[in-house]
Structures are given as structure tokens and as C-alpha cells.
Amino acid sequence: MHATRRQYLMCRPTYFAVEYAINPWMDPARPVDRELAIAQWDQLRRTYLELGHTVDDIEPLPGLPDMVFAANGATVIDGRALAVQFREPQRADEAPAYRDWLEQAGFPVHEAKHVNEGEGDFLVVGDYLLAGTGFRTSHAAHAHAQEVFGRPVVTLQLVDPCFYHLDTALAVIDEQTIAYLPEAFSAGSQAVLRRLFPDAVTASLADAAAFGLNAVSDGRHVVLPVQADGLATALRERGYHPIGVDLSELRKAGGGPKCCTLELRGSSR
């Protein structure tokens, strides 16, 4: 199992809150501890730095409580970025903020033509781009992503609203290995995943509900919620090195480590 250095973009949860409900985890009546959210996020950021990765920061904007979920800010592969278009109006203004950051950082940005929520629904595994649809990213966006990135896109149908983004139901562990919750996918998509990844790790519903599949792997170290202990054990048995982090406050918005992390693949101009 060998780790490669990664470059991530993150957004401090300075204005984090649960003020609206756009997924089943969000309950605006339930209090969130923003200070704790920031401390937990800082710990995640430190974990990446300790692993030798680079973390860039985008300035959080007031009035955008979900902007901490940087994975939804874009998809960046081979130094090229595809901008996002959010399904829900509450998050719409995040899209230009991420697009501007990437442009200023020197990444050529392709405009979004259809609803797509970035790495929430687009995951790179080896040469493939796995693409989720059903709740957020539209199917039309998958075809656009294939044109932009020149990688074969595999469409996967999500069927459980609790696992509304692909990155809540499936984790990329290394170039050939994924972990996923089978029942979060349609029967046809489960068959596709079995065909492409016969040796995949399958997660339990309990681990997926702990956001265990919202994991960030560098090929060896897998950063995942500390509560997903069954998945951590399965990964350890396969020779990976799971690292547990606690993001209990961000989970109240339906997010975990991967949601907070946008990978910048390939160098900018």
C-alpha cells in the first residue's frame, strides 16, 4: 500500500450552521456547536498536513453555511476544473466563489452546463470517473464531465436519500480499490460495481451512517470518521492504515471528512 502526496482545498467552517434542510441529516431545530465544528475541522486539516499533504484554503463567506463542504466546489483532474452548479438555491453562491479561487490559482475552469455538485458525485478511481446521480448531480452532467476530462464515466444510480451524494456511499481507497454500501445503489448499479470491483470492501449500513464512506485516502492512509470502526477494521485487514477523525458537528449537516476536502489533481498552469 503506497501513499502519494495530495493537494487539497478546504474551507474553514467560520459561518457553519444548519439553517435549512436539504438532506435527511439536517435538522435546523437541533443546535450545532460552531466552535467545536471549527476545532474538529482544524484537526482534519492538521491530519492532512501531518501526512505530508498540501492544504490550500478558500476564504469562507458569510451566509453560506455549507461552504465548508469543499468537495462540492468543483471537480479537478489533470489540472483542469469543472465548475459546479448546485441543485439547491441555498448553495448557489458557493459556485462562483470556488470557480474564482480555481481561476486565480491557475486552473482552467470549464463552466457547468448542468446541475453537478463536484466531487460529491464525481470520484476518480484509476482511469475511470465514477459519477453519482439520483439526488443532486444530473445525468446530463456525467456526459459533460466525460467530454471535459476525457475519462470514461460510469454512471451510478443512488437510491437512498440518506446517501444523497456518491461520496457518502462509496469511497475510493486506491487506484483499484473502492469501499461502498451496496444498498445505496440501484440493482443495475450494484451489478456494475461488482463487475468493475469484484474485490471491493463492502460497508455495513452502520458504518455508512457514521459517514465512514466519506473517507479520504492517499492510497495508504484512509482518513475516516472515528465512529466507523467496522470499516476501519476491514481496511486494516487489507493492509491500509485507517486514521479516525471526529466530525460530529459537521455530520449534523450531512457531511464528513471527504465532504470537507476538494482534491486538486494535476498542477495548475
Which residues are known to be catalytic?
Answer: 165, 259
- Which positions from 86 through 125 interact with ligand ARG, judged by CB under 6 A? 91, 120
Residue 72 as a binder of ligand ARG (CB under 6 A): the answer is yes
Partners of 81 in beta bridges: 76, 109
Select the residue interacting with ligand ARG from 144, 165, 251, 252 (CB under 6 A). 165
Nearest distance, CB of residue 20 and ligand ARG, angstroms: 9
Cell matching residue 129: 470517473
Helices of type H across the chain = 34-50, 94-104, 139-149, 166-169, 187-196, 205-209, 229-237, 248-251
Contact in structure between 25 and 210 (CB atoms under 8 Å) = no
Stretch binding ligand ARG (CB under 6 A), from 103-111, 123-131, 220-228, 251-259: 251-259
Choosing from 124, 131, 167, 217, the residue that interacts with ligand ARG (CB under 6 A) is 167
- 60 binds ligand ARG per the rule CB under 6 A: no
According to the binding rule CB under 6 A, does residue 32 interact with ligand ARG?
Answer: no
* Member of 178, 259, 262, 264 binding ligand ARG (CB under 6 A): 259
22: contact with ligand ARG by CB under 6 A = yes
Nearer to ligand ARG, 1 or 90 (CB): 90
Of the candidate residues 37, 44, 64, 71, the single one contacting ligand ARG (CB under 6 A): 71
* In the complex, minimum distance from the CB of residue 26 to ligand ARG, in angstroms, rounded to a whole number: 6
Q: Does residue 66 interact with ligand ARG by CB under 6 A?
A: yes
Provide the H-helix boundaries in 51-151: 94-104, 139-149
Residue 56's contacts (CB-CB under 8 Å, 6 or more residues apart) are 7, 8, 9, 10, 105, 264
Give the x/- contact pattern for ligand ARG in 204-243, rule: CB under 6 A: ----------------------------------------
- With CB under 6 A as the contact rule, the residue among 41, 69, 197, 240 that binds ligand ARG is 69
State the Cα–Cα distance between residues 52 and 46, nearest whole angstrom. 10
Write 23-31 long-range contacts (CB < 8 A, 24+).
23/161, 23/162, 23/164, 23/254, 24/161, 24/162, 24/164, 24/254, 25/162, 25/251, 25/252, 25/253, 25/254, 26/252, 26/253, 26/254, 27/252, 30/252
Query: Which residue, 23 or 75, is less far from ligand ARG as judged by CB?
Result: 23
What are the distances in angstroms from CA 105 to CA 48, 98, 260, 263?
20, 11, 19, 14
| Binding site residues, ligand ARG, CB under 6 A | 22-23, 26, 66, 69, 71-72, 91, 120, 165, 167-168, 253-255, 259
